[in-house]
Amino acid sequence: MTGKIYYDLDTSWVNNIKINLSAIERRTATLTKRRTVKKEYQVAWLLKAITLIDLTTLSGDDTSGKVERLCNKALNPIDKNILSELGLSKNDIRVGAICVYHHLIKDCKTLLSNQLPIAAVSTGFPAGLSSFGTRKKEISDSIRDGADEIDIVINRGFVLQNNWTKLYNEVKEFKKTAGNIKVKAILGVGDLETLRNVAKASLVCMMAGADFIKTSTGKENINANLNNSLVMLRMIRDFYNKTGKKIGFKPAGGISTSKSVLEFLILVAEELGFEWINPKLLRIGASSLLIDIERQLYHYTSGRYANKEKLALG
């Protein structure tokens, strides 16, 4: 069954999902008390985290100049002096991908020369409320311009109305349009009201062919946190146990410190295993996280912290 792209919509499975909120909160509250990483182990985890980042710029003032700096940083995420102190060479560490709006894909393609994947947000990002035809065309246009991955936005209204057939058909059509291009389905967890809805939406998107499920656009009031991530990871695990298909996970929005990203990595490792800690199955949507990771690595190699100006993005 692992070769299948789509699975039939199983509404009985969806409707029978139960969520124990107190158990979820207890699990995430004790996570960092039970698991900590220090010194060289922390360095190793932070270097791994860099390779999982979808380095993102999704602002209204995005320009080709801003994206040029972002692409340069994606290819050279760590200062050469820090790399030297860690015994690494220039090409040892790069981010997982660049994530941008459609109009900047061609710029990224030129700057990156196929050295990194380009992910484009699509389907009416961030609200996902454009017409269905327009949203499908966005996917096709972005792939035509060179996008290697598509981050789609689901219609959250379908989730709130428990209209799983419409959600399933929508995501399935988006995946058909994308073909063999990787599709990350953004749930917009902050708009879904309950963790049970998060779990149900996760399952339906996986059935419909999403290659990744992603927490947020980064524009909602509530973005990725350990609670909603745990729910999504458990659904990925259940789906894998039933179908044999591995689905990727992308927490996004609000992950801006080394401490927080380590918590997410530990959670994924404990829930899904270390085989998920790789760019094919785990991405982290972030913009400022890389700066903090670099500051921590600078401290490890020099014994002092650098200010942000010294390690500024780009």
- The catalytic position among 73, 136, 182, 214 is 214
Per the prediction, the chain carries an average pLDDT of 94
pTM, to two decimals: 0.95
Query: Looking at per-residue confidence, does 314 or 280 come out higher?
Result: 280
- Residues 277-302: what's their mean pLDDT? 95
Q: Exposed, middle or buried, 18 (CB in 10 Å: 0-12/13-18/19+)?
A: exposed
Please identify, in words, the CATH class of the domain defined by 11-302: alpha beta
- The catalytic position among 182, 200, 250, 292 is 250
pLDDT-based confidence at 39, cuts 50/70/90?
Answer: confident
- The HSE-up count of residue 140 (CA atoms within 13 Å, CB side) is 9
- The pLDDT assigned to 1 comes to 40
pLDDT-based confidence at 311, cuts 50/70/90?
Answer: low
For residue range 187-242, list pLDDT tens digits in order. Answer: 999 999 999 999 999 999 999 999 999 999 999 999 999 999 999 999 999 999 99
- Residue 280 falls in the annotated catalytic set: no
- The catalytic position among 148, 151, 211, 292 is 151
Query: Looking at per-residue confidence, does 208 or 60 come out higher?
Result: 208
- Residue 141 falls in the annotated catalytic set: no
Greatest mean pLDDT range, 1-15, 33-47, 217-231, 292-306:
217-231
- Residue 145 falls in the annotated catalytic set: no
- The HSE-up count of residue 3 (CA atoms within 13 Å, CB side) is 0
- Residues 71-84: what's their mean pLDDT? 94
Q: Which two tokens stand for residue 71?
A: 């692409």
